[in-house]
Amino acid sequence: MREQTQHPGLFPKMYCSVFGHHYVVSKKVTYHVKEYTCSHCKKQLTTNSNGHLIELTPKFREINAILERIHNNRILRSKEKTLASSIY
């Protein structure tokens, strides 16, 4: 009889129900909002506006995409400002 090797990808859902999800940050949307993915079952969570973790539904994915765009624009603009002030 062969000993069963540790293989998280084999029974990911079972693994999570026994040991709990193992979330890792998969995307930083803004300074406060992040997306998390369970490294075993690929379940995704996100931070909502109250700072709570909730399931990443297509609706929230859409909201996060918008937030990310606004956030990146802001960073871009503040960089331009810094650049401009260092020139003048």
Torsion of CA 64, 66, 67, 73, to 10 degrees: 140
The region of 13-21, 24-32, 53-61, 75-83 touching Zn ion under the rule CB under 5 A is 13-21
Question: Among all chains, which residue has been given the structure tokens 């129900």?
Answer: 17
Q: Which of 35, 40, 47, 64 binds Zn ion (CB under 5 A)?
A: 40
Asked if 67 touches Zn ion (CB under 5 A), the answer is no
Ramachandran angles phi, psi of 71, nearest 5°: -60, -50
Q: Which is nearer to Zn ion, 11 or 75 (CB)?
A: 11
Q: How far is the CB of 50 from Zn ion (least distance, A)?
A: 23
Q: Are 15 and 50 in contact (CB under 8 A)?
A: no
Question: Which stretches of the chain bind Zn ion, using CB under 5 A?
Answer: 16, 21, 38, 40-41, 43
